[in-house]
């Protein structure tokens, strides 16, 4: 039996490279990164974040949670049909064609897949669905990946969001941030037909028919993206993570209930999609009701973003902080900031007003040349005209 499992694991890993979603997901994140960098150069005249920055900080946790969920899914005996995997891959690819992460929540990717599978008897001429389909497995996976989405939201930190500019109602430019993450989570799942035979009376618990099973490694794609202009982005992300965690608990409870009452699958999908939309709507309305946070104040020059690896980053200057003085000279604009720096000697001292309203001081050697060498990004007119 152990040999059969090892063979199926190897074959399952090999099948990952037969899934077009795996290759498209990598191409997609590269294209999205290139598009973002072009916008950063239009807005600020320089690249702020690397091309894969939305993805690279997720790798470790994605592998760990993928292994954990694989053990749970296989251990319980949750079987997914090949048809469901194909439709999920197609739906995910279609939802990425906007080249944004907005629709990559499991509420949408798995939710829409379940809706299509529910309608499959009416669409039998167009869908490659044959035989029994156990939708409870997909409903439970939807809930489990909502927990992952909430986790990634809760990990957003102060300098990990993406700056941009937007025209205000009065014609001036307003600074805002995009909260974005992208992840590819490797998940082993059971599919019908293979070398693995049931090893216990209860196993597989959620089957779609058949007496022998194989393993397939699915590249589950997850992402989110939304703008914030009226608050500190990481604070909004953390609050939204708590809301999403509550939604995940409710969806999981109903999805488990669908094992015994299959009609609850429909309720699971409705709550997952509309609950996700309600959370987005509530935060969007609250954000627009606030005054722009990253606009400059009478106290000084507010930092919109800090370029990773720059001197400002090494000095631990954070987004949302306000530069009030340079070497004792009050600052109200970028020109005043760099004029003050040019007038100093080898070192400069900066007074910062942090997000708690407290003054702190930093000092360092003066970096000559282009102001972007300091790594500070401020709200101002776009570097190039935005069409």
Flag whether pLDDT at 221 surpasses 80. Answer: yes
Q: How many residues does the chain have?
A: 387
Specify the pLDDT at position 127. Answer: 59
What is the pLDDT of the chain when averaged over all its residues? 88
State how far the Cα of 262 lies from the Cα of 385, in Å rounded to an integer: 55
The C-alpha atoms of residue 135 and residue 187 are separated, in whole angstroms, by 17
User: Which residues does 48 contact at the CB level (< 8 Å), separation at least 6?
Assistant: 37, 40, 162, 163, 305, 307, 308, 377
Of residues 27 and 122, the one with the higher pLDDT is 27
Residue 166 has pLDDT above 50, yes or no: yes
Q: pLDDT tens digits, residue range 42-62? A: 999 999 999 999 998 899 999
Residues 201-228, mean pLDDT to the nearest whole number: 84
Does the pLDDT value for residue 132 go beyond 50?
Answer: yes
Q: What's residue 272's pLDDT?
A: 97
pLDDT in tens, 184-210: 999 999 888 877 776 666 677 777 666
CA atoms within 13 A on the CB side of 125: 1
How far is Cα 127 from Cα 115, in angstroms, rounded to an integer? 13
Q: What's residue 370's pLDDT?
A: 44
Highest-confidence range of 8-22, 26-40, 163-177, 368-382, by mean pLDDT?
Answer: 26-40
pLDDT at 374: 78
Give the closest residue to 248 by CA, choosing from 144, 354, 97.
144
Domains of the chain: 2-289 (no CATH), 301-378 (2.30.42.10)
User: Helix H segments across the chain?
Assistant: 2-16, 20-44, 53-56, 59-76, 82-95, 106-118, 135-154, 233-257, 264-289, 311-314, 334-342
Q: In angstroms, rounded to a whole number, what is the distance separating the alpha carbons of residues 282 and 338?
A: 40
pLDDT at 386: 60
CA distances from 64 to 60, 77, 143, 183 (A): 6, 20, 18, 12
Is the peptide bond between 335 and the residue preceding it cis, with omega within 30 degrees of 0?
no
């Amino acid at each position: 039996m152990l040999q059969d499992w090892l063979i199926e694991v190897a074959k399952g890993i090999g099948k990952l490279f037969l899934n077009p979603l795996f290759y498209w997901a990598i191409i997609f994140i590269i294209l999205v990164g290139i598009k973002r960098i072009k916008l950063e150069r239009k807005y600020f005249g320089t690249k702020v974040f690397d091309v894969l920055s939305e993805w690279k900080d997720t790798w470790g946790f994605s592998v760990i949670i993928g292994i954990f969920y694989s053990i749970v899914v296989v251990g319980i005996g949750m079987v997914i049909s090949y048809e469901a995997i194909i439709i999920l891959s197609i739906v995910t690819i279609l939802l990425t064609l906007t080249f944004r992460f907005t629709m990559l929540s499991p509420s949408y990717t798995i939710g829409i897949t379940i809706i299509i599978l529910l309608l499959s008897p009416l669409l039998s001429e167009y869908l490659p669905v044959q035989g029994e389909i156990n939708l409870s497995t997909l409903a439970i996976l939807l809930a489990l990946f909502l927990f992952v989405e909430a986790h990634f939201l809760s990990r957003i930190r102060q300098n990990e969001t993406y700056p941009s500019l937007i025209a205000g109602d009065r014609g001036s430019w307003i600074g805002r941030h995009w909260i974005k993450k992208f992840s590819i989570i490797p998940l082993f799942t059971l599919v019908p037909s293979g070398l693995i035979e049931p090893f216990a009376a209860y196993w597989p618990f959620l089957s779609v028919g058949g007496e022998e099973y194989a393993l397939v490694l699915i590249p589950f794609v997850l992402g989110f993206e939304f703008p914030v202009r009226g608050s500190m982005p990481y604070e909004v992300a953390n609050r939204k993570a708590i809301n999403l965690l509550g939604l995940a608990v409710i969806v999981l409870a109903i999805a488990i209930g669908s094992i015994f009452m299959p009609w609850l699958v429909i309720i699971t999908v409705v709550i997952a999609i509309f609950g996700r939309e309600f959370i987005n709507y509530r935060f969007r309305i609250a954000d627009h009701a606030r005054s722009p946070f990253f606009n400059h104040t009478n106290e000084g020059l507010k930092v919109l973003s800090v370029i990773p690896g720059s001197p400002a980053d090494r000095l631990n200057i954070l987004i949302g902080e306000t530069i009030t003085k340079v070497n004792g000279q009050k600052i109200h604009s970028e020109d005043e900031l760099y004029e003050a720096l040019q007038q100093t000697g080898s070192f400069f001292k900066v007074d910062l007003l942090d997000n708690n309203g407290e003054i702190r001081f930093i000092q360092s050697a003066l970096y000559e040349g282009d102001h972007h060498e300091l790594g500070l990004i401020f709200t101002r007119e776009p570097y190039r005209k935005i069409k």
